[in-house]
Structure 1
Amino acid sequence: MSNLFSTFDPSTNILNLSLNWISVGIGLIIIPNMFWILPSRINILWNKINSTLHNEFKTLLGKNMKGATFMFISIFIMMLFNNFMGLFPYIFTSTSHMTLTFSIALPVWMSFMLFGWINNTKHMFTHLVPQGTPAALMPFMVLIETISNVIRPGTLAVRLAANMIAGHLLLTLLGNTGPQMSSSLITALIIVQLLLLILESAVAMIQAYVFSILSTLYSSEVS
């Protein structure tokens, strides 16, 4: 009988510290903070960011596309997260590759174009000729507007990828010059690198916002 009930003996210890009764508090570790510290600071910040973005996108979209703001907020958060993760050492910067940026920009743009041309065909045709264009220039304006519309997903993708590549390249090139520098210049290099890192953090936020806000503006034209 003693062997049978030996599994219940308090025997767990690390460095002579009895850790048997930690199991009582495991539930508190598993339950997320937002359920037992309400409202937490992270929760308040997260709700504030979401409400601000929702109001911003709602103003641009108008009343015709209810619920679309959540899609653009999701794009913004995804881009922001990937941009920031790329600033950490030894982490792959996915947003610096056209494979990711173009594969997001193209379906978003294509869905808006299909929606616009199927449901609001006349409205889409009027966008090809700006108001007050002389009759002689109309064919050229249609061509120019068509080209500018077609290259939109490409410009969205290239803008984000190029900005990510440029900042990371600059950080890498400056960092590689460190071993050849004298000890007196190393301090200046570290300060410059820190300032560039702050700049890149700002660029990561700005580029995510620009990507999502331009997608919103493009979608507002089809309704």
Structure 2
Amino acid sequence: ARTNPAPRAAPPAANPEPTPPPAPAPPAPPAPAPLEKSMDLLDLGDFSPVPHTAAAPAPHDPFAAAPASAVPPPPPAPPLPAPAPAPPADPFAGAGLLGSSTDAPLGGLANAQPPANSLFQHAGAPLRPKTLSTPEFGQRWGSCPCTKMGGAAGSFRDLAQMMGVLETTGLHPVEAITATGEGILAGTVQDALVLLHGKMGEGGRVHFTVKGTQQGIVDGLVAFCTTRLQSS
């Protein structure tokens, strides 16, 4: 009888692929750092009083405005000076030659008695005649900044005598107006100009005004002419 062949053994299975190793577990996160104890503004459960801390003083500012109470009141206003006395009436205002003037005391210069033939001097410089026309005199008169008035209670007979005495001081006679009893004279002391306008008054009295470019020379000439007129 026919026999069946014996079954063959199955071929060996192919080697399976190696299984990959499991992935390592991730490291555990670091533990959080402990939080510093701080005030929880929302924690209403703690009603313990907060200790009071004194505020630090503000730094001193030397330029800060002082408080109103520290500012001293302003000093009282000084009293107003008494009004100056009105100048004496100007007898020559109608002539248009005189401006504002001040008649101050003459002091010791008026008491000196110079020789009748001596010329006026200032700081050793003599008074020299200055030749001017009447219109030139008027122009210079208005531009001279220094003025002083004088007078003498002489006993002059007429304008010619007054002009003659004033010429002895060193002045040049510019013009004499007999109808009004007025005369004008001019001179110089070095480069300083002096002008004189005189007028006969009642009782032989003489009123005059000197103008010039230097007040010291003007003051000295007024004193000199006053003495010369009073001694004539």
Is the structural similarity TM-score above 0.5? Answer: no
TM value normalised by structure 1: 0.25
Q: Give the structure with the higher percent strand.
A: 2
TM value normalised by structure 2: 0.24
Higher relative contact order (CA 8 A, sep 6+): 1
Greater radius of gyration (CA):
2
